[in-house]
């Protein structure tokens, strides 16, 4: 009996041990199936990230472009200790990194280590070559993990980590070109436009589709491309080709720098626009910055003052008032206007002329030529409230110019009801009691030089995909603002203003030059301070080409140089001379 019991116990014990062993076996299989064993992968995925489009000037210079950034990493456990110095020396040679820093970094950590996140394409190619060389030299060896019992061998890994925006011409064309901000997503560095063209055309510049390549890999983690590998097409952002002539832009920016210092001005703005289609050849300012290195002191310069600064324009508005009077047939240019010795009482307001006339009576066109406030105040009364109010709107005031830049301001004019007031008519007639941007005034003056038709200023000419297909930017339809006859008469009067009036210093032999000066007090605390904005807007034409130009000098402080004839007009002439030097305008002795 005891023997049978003992036998049963032995059999049960045997079954128990077999069952336990089976359970342990199953559990072990389950364990190894579930844990990450970090086995070397038979296939490897490589993602090549699409980049942002370029911005290129009319004369084919890159204004903004993107450079790919690469991440370089290793597993320090795979480095043969006896060949550590060899690795450090070769890596430093190929990457340009300091040897001591590289060695310190490698010794500071066991396992996965990123050596750099900021490797450019050229160095990335060199480092990929180095990765294969290090493998052949036996710098990396198989590491056996005592905890898992798994062996692995990882070499030098070079993979794309994102992109960096670069501005090869540094400050040139800022703030128009704008700047970007970094965006980190899934460990990848991308950029997005914040201001200027970078912001306005964000949806066109933005990269569209990354490349994903899947295939077998070699020891340096480089994919072996064969019939079994799979790859998707990369689609970069569109390149933008702009109308800005970079060389001309730089020449004009140098002028603004020179005159800002000479006049002790807050800022100087200059624009050159093709009168026929609105293409901007230059939009320059003295207040620029480096988009790659924006400092706190640069913050005021980040805005495009040409569209974001609205101010009382002063006497340049007299030309617009006069054009409306001609359009509505309210005056004849040869009508006589009394000047009252340069002082005129309108209600409780006293209006004075800065440029005193020798005659008590002058022609209506000479009111504009010699910039009489008294004469303009009287002539403006001939327009009824609707004609004046709607006329200014037709010229583009209180509306965006539709230029392809963000954050454009619209300025303001009095309400229709207030245009019934003689005082409001008078002050708006010579450029006070309203605000406008530099670009709005440029667009309005362009009407005069474009046979009475209004066009929107623009910077982007076309988009291009992979240096092949071009997509031209669609433009607004031109609209007539004043009849051709009125625009021709206005051109004659503005030419006379340059030949005989306040714009004499702008004249250039062999070209058709016309324009109007404007010197305006700056309002401060409900009254006008002893600070000024001075401007000159007009045109410069040769036999084939016609351009509308504008110059604005903001708050010149040099003594006796706040008048437009002393600051904006000389700059205007210098700009015209640059256009001649670049062959954009060609003087001809037959033009007078």
Report the 3 state secondary structure along 463-503.
EEECCCEEEECCCCCCEECCCHHHHHHHHHHHHHHHHCCCC
Does residue 334 share a domain with residue 474?
A: yes
Cβ–Cβ < 8 Å for 346, 377: yes
The whole-angstrom separation of Cα 81 and Cα 341 is 97
DSSP annotation of 340 reads: G
Write out the two tokens for 167.
Answer: 């501005």
159 vs 7: CA distance, rounded Å: 67
Token readout for 517 is: 């000066």
Residues 213 and 252 occupy one common structural domain: no
Same domain, 173 and 274: no
Looking up residue 276, the CATH number of its domain turns out to be 3.40.710.10
Q: Could you tell me the two tokens for 249?
A: 């832009």
Number of helices (H) and strands (E), helices first, in the chain?
Answer: 16, 27
What stretch of H or E contains 514? Answer: strand 512-524
* Residue 433 included in any domain: yes
From first to last of its 592 residues, the chain has per-residue pLDDT tens of 555 666 666 666 666 677 777 777 676 666 545 554 444 455 556 666 788 999 999 999 999 999 888 888 989 888 988 889 999 899 998 888 898 998 899 898 888 888 888 888 888 888 888 888 888 899 898 888 888 778 888 888 888 888 899 999 999 999 999 999 998 877 788 899 999 999 999 999 988 776 655 555 555 556 555 565 556 666 788 999 999 999 999 999 999 999 999 999 999 999 999 999 999 999 999 999 999 999 999 999 999 999 999 999 999 999 999 999 999 999 999 999 999 999 999 988 899 998 778 889 999 999 999 999 999 999 999 999 999 999 999 999 999 999 999 999 999 999 999 999 999 999 999 999 999 999 999 999 999 999 999 999 999 999 998 778 889 988 888 899 999 999 999 999 999 999 999 999 999 999 999 999 999 988 877 667 789 999 999 999 999 999 999 999 999 999 878 889 999 999 999 999 999 999 999 999 887 6
Task: Pick the closest to residue 429 from 494, 380, 371 (CA basis).
Answer: 380
In a domain, 237, yes or no: no
Query: Per the structure block, which two tokens stand in for 565?
Result: 């004839």
Residue 28 lies in a domain: no
Number of CB atoms found within 10 A of residue 332's CB: 12
pTM score of the predicted model: 0.84
Compute the distance between CA of residue 505 and CA of residue 500 in angstroms, rounded to an integer: 10
Shared domain check, 320 and 194? no
Q: What is the pLDDT of residue 528?
A: 75
> d(Cα 439, Cα 397) in Å, to the nearest integer?
10
**Both 71 and 209 in a single domain?**
yes
Q: 38 — phi, psi (to 5°)? A: 50, 45
Give the number of residues written for the chain.
592
Residue 3 falls within a domain, yes or no? no
305 closest CA partner among 248, 265, 245, 258: 265
**Count: domains in the chain:** 2
What pLDDT was estimated at residue 37?
A: 46
Structure tokens at 343: 């002082």
Q: How far, CA to CA in Å, does 236 sit from each of 185, 213, 400? A: 18, 16, 31
Task: Decide if 426 contacts 381 (C-beta within 8 A).
Answer: yes
Where do the DSSP E strands lie in 525-579?
Answer: 527-541, 546-554
The Cα angle at residue 305 between residues 300 and 308, in degrees rounded to 5: 100
In a domain, 74, yes or no: yes
For residues 461 and 335, state if they share a domain. yes
The CATH number given to whatever domain includes residue 132 is: 3.90.1310.10
Nearest Cα to 510, choosing from 449, 577, 578? 577
Asked if the structure places residue 495 within a domain, the reply is: yes
Which two three-digit tokens encode residue 120? 């450019």
Residue in 228, 183, 226, 227 with CA at minimum distance from that of residue 206: 183
Give the domain extent around 271: 246-288+305-563+573-581
Q: What is the pLDDT of residue 161?
A: 84
269 and 405 inside one domain: yes
Residue 230 lies in a domain: no
């Amino acid at each position: 009996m005891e023997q049978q019991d003992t036998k049963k116990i032995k059999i049960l014990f045997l079954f128990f041990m077999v069952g336990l062993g089976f359970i342990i076996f199953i559990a072990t299989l389950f364990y190894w199936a579930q844990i990450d064993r970090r086995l070397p992968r038979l296939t490897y995925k490589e993602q090549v990230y699409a980049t942002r489009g370029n911005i290129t000037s009319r004369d084919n210079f890159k204004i903004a472009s993107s450079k790919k950034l690469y991440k370089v990493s290793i597993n320090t456990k795979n480095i043969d200790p006896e060949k550590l110095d060899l690795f450090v020396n070769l890596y430093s040679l190929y990457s340009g990194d300091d040897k001591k820093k590289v060695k310190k970094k490698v010794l500071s950590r066991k396992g996965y280590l990123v050596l750099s996140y900021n490797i450019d394409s050229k160095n990335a190619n060199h480092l990929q070559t180095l990765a294969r060389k290090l493998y052949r030299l036996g710098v990396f060896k198989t590491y056996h993990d005592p905890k898992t019992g798994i062996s692995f061998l990882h070499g030098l890994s070079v993979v794309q980590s994102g992109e960096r925006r670069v501005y090869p011409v540094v400050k040139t064309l800022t703030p128009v070109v704008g700047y970007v901000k970094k965006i980190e997503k899934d460990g990848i560095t991308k950029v997005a436009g914040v201001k200027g063209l970078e912001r306005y055309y964000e949806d066109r510049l933005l990269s569209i589709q990354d490349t994903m390549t899947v295939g077998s890999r070699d020891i340096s983690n480089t994919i072996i491309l064969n019939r079994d590998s799979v790859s998707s097409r990369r689609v970069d952002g569109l390149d933008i080709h702009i109308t800005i002539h970079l060389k001309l832009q730089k020449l004009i920016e140098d002028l603004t720098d020179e005159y800002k210092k000479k006049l002790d001005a807050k800022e100087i703005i200059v624009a050159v626009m093709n009168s026929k289609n609105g293409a901007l050849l230059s939009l320059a300012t003295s207040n620029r910055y480096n988009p790659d290195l924006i400092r706190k002191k640069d913050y005021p310069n980040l805005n495009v003052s040409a569209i974001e600064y609205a101010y009382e324009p002063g006497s340049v508005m007299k030309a617009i008032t006069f054009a409306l009077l001609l359009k509505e047939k309210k005056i004849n240019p040869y009508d006589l206007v009394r000047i009252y010795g340069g002082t005129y009482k309108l209600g409780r307001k006293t209006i004075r002329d800065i440029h005193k006339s020798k005659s008590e009576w002058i022609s209506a066109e000479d009111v504009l030529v010699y910039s009489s406030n008294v004469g303009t105040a009287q002539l403006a009364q001939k327009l009824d409230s609707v004609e004046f109010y709607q006329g200014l709107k037709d010229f583009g005031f209180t509306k965006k110019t539709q230029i392809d830049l963000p954050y454009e301001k619209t300025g303001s004019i009095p309400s229709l009801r207030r245009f019934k007031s003689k005082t409001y008519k008078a002050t708006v007639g010579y450029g006070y009691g309203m605000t406008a941007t530099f670009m709005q005034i440029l667009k309005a003056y362009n009407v005069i030089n474009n046979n009475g038709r209004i066009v929107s200023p623009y910077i982007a000419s076309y988009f291009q995909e992979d240096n092949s297909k071009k997509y031209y930017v669609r433009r607004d339809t031109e609209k007539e603002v004043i009849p051709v006859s009125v625009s021709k008469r206005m051109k004659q009067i503005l030419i006379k203003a340059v030949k005989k009036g306040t714009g004499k210093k702008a004249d250039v032999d062999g070209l058709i030059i016309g324009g109007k000066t404007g010197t305006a007090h700056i309002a401060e605390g409900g009254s006008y301070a002893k600070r000024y904005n001075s401007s000159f807007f007009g045109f410069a034409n040769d036999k084939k080409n016609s351009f509308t130009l504008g110059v604005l000098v903001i708050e010149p402080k040099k003594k006796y140089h706040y008048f437009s004839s002393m600051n904006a007009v000389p700059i205007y002439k210098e700009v015209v001379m640059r256009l001649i030097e670049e062959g954009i305008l060609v003087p001809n002795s037959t033009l007078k």
